Amino acid sequence: MTVDTRHAFAELGLAPGATAHEVKAAWRRLVSHWHPDRNPSAGAVARMQRINDAFRIIHRAGQSATPEPAPRAAKPPAPPPSPSASPPSSPPPPPPPSPPPRADDTARARAHAGARAKASADAQARAAHASGARSKEPDDDGPRRTVHRKVRLTLEEAAAGCTKVLQGKVVDTCESCSGRGYRLPESACVPCEGSGEVKQPAWFGWLNTRLACEGCGGKGTVRIQCVDCHGTGKLDVRRYQVNARIPHGVRGGDMLNVSAQRTRSQHAAVDLHLRVEIVDHPLFKLDEDRTVRCEMPVDGFAWIANRSISVPTLTGMQPLVLNRDKLTYRLKNVGYPLERRGARGDQVVTVQPIFPEKLNADQDILLDQLIAALSGPEGHASDHRLRTWQRELRAWERSLHKHDAPGH
């Protein structure tokens, strides 16, 4: 690629090697800005000539297909040429030099030029939006997205499996501007003609100073806001709602993949990558070996009396007959699945008998009755162990009296 060709691409605001479509679009955009019939600035004719020359160089170099020929400025009072007219083979003669403008005339001209530039930029934005809308096929669903998120499960949900309705929002990056919020390439600033400086007339018309252009901040180029995302770089928020089927026996930290789906037509279609998180349970503890443990207090008198109580499990309440000789019980097949999607394991229940710290009067009376019933009348206990003990105790007492008698 020669130096002239690179300069030609730079004149059109393109990178070397741009496609034919990009060259054609840049050429049209610059023509709409700099055509002398639309741009009253003194440098419009020269800039228009450079635009056409740049196009010819690129075309001759074989870098792009021939676009529609550029319109040329017409000599007054002839009517302006049609936008579809062919580019002239040679540049038109430069216009005769005009007298130095006065300060007020220059200010008015700059104001008119700024207004025309804004109107032209708005027209370009509308045209680009319309062109983009025509080129895109309608897609009500929008792009398919992959969402990474957590799913929190209770111990019961993880053990039995469940269906979770997951809702959320996705925001897609604007493809038209690649998330920048503005189009590329940047356009030449109209008020300063791409130089980054504007002339500031002094009190005398022939004395001028050059100041940094306020429209472009001295860069010489301005950014055209992307009309698809309104300059944000992001598209509109889309909501999703997915019914995620959770298999039974999942573990905390497991990764689940849910294929793209949606419950309603207005929802976005998303692929979910779910990380399972099992929340702590207020009653149960899950060991590393998948054993479910439950520690619970029980009535001490019920434990003594071998009564039946109800204990909680992952499948609901289960009856348990207490045994005053045991504190730990194992319930079969009501625990957590030992393998993913497998059968349930066991649950271990540990009871803690609770007795009152201080007995009231009624409890004292009842306990006295129990003691009397067990001890029996006149020391004849109802239990053989107590009877044996009482018999041996009485024999020992009699032996003591014999040793204390006189003569021994």
Same domain, 326 and 379: no
Predicted pLDDT of residue 304: 93
> 267: domain range?
145-168+236-278
132 occurs within a structural domain: no
Domain boundary residue, one of 228, 247, 278: 278
Return the percentage of the chain with pLDDT > 90, whole number.
28
**In angstroms, rounded to a whole number, what is the distance separating the alpha carbons of residues 386 and 377?**
13
**In angstroms, rounded to a whole number, what is the distance separating the alpha carbons of residues 299 and 356?**
9
Beta carbons within 8 Å of 183's beta carbon, 6+ residues apart: 128, 176, 177, 223, 224, 225, 226
Predicted pLDDT of residue 383: 83
Same domain, 315 and 295: yes
Phi, psi for residue 150 in degrees, rounded to 5: -95, 155
Same domain, 66 and 4: yes
Same domain, 270 and 158: yes
Per the structure, the count of domains in the chain is 4
**In angstroms, rounded to a whole number, what is the distance separating the alpha carbons of residues 190 and 123?**
14
Residue 103 has pLDDT above 60, yes or no: no
The string of pLDDT tens digits covering residues 230-248 is: 888 888 888 888 899 999 9
35 occurs within a structural domain: yes
The mean per-residue pLDDT over the stretch 307-333 comes to 96
51 occurs within a structural domain: yes
Mean pLDDT of the chain: 78
Same domain, 370 and 334: no
Same domain, 266 and 158: yes
**Of residues 296, 294, 295, 286, the one with CA closest to residue 344:** 286
The mean per-residue pLDDT over the stretch 9-26 comes to 82
**In angstroms, rounded to a whole number, what is the distance separating the alpha carbons of residues 338 and 315?**
15
**In angstroms, rounded to a whole number, what is the distance separating the alpha carbons of residues 207 and 344?**
95
Same domain, 62 and 31: yes
The string of pLDDT tens digits covering residues 276-285 is: 999 999 999 9
Higher pLDDT, 315 or 267: 315
CB-CB contact of 314 with 294 (8 Å): no
272 occurs within a structural domain: yes
Same domain, 23 and 52: yes
Same domain, 25 and 61: yes
98 occurs within a structural domain: no
User: Any idea which of 63-72, 117-126, 377-386 has the lowest mean pLDDT?
Assistant: 63-72
Q: Does residue 356 have a cis bond before it (omega within 30 degrees)?
A: no
48 occurs within a structural domain: yes
User: Any idea which of 7-16, 296-305, 308-317 has the lowest mean pLDDT?
Assistant: 7-16
Same domain, 149 and 274: yes
Same domain, 267 and 158: yes
Phi, psi for residue 295 in degrees, rounded to 5: -110, 125
Higher pLDDT, 92 or 249: 249
The mean per-residue pLDDT over the stretch 7-13 comes to 81
User: Any idea what the CATH number is for the domain that residue 33 is in?
Assistant: 1.10.287.110
Query: What is the residue whose two structure tokens read 């252009």?
Result: 213
Phi, psi for residue 227 in degrees, rounded to 5: -80, -20
- Band the pLDDT of 273: cuts 50, 70, 90: very high
DSSP state string for 326-340: -SEEEETT-S-BSST
Same domain, 154 and 270: yes
**In angstroms, rounded to a whole number, what is the distance separating the alpha carbons of residues 33 and 120?**
7
**In angstroms, rounded to a whole number, what is the distance separating the alpha carbons of residues 127 and 119?**
12
The mean per-residue pLDDT over the stretch 101-107 comes to 45
What one-letter code names the amino acid at 327? Answer: L
Look at the pTM and tell me if it is higher than 0.85: no
**In angstroms, rounded to a whole number, what is the distance separating the alpha carbons of residues 265 and 137?**
18
Q: Output the 3-class SS for 196-210.
A: CEEEEECCCCCCEEE
86 occurs within a structural domain: no
Domain boundary residue, one of 22, 45, 72: 72
Domain boundary residue, one of 56, 72, 88: 72
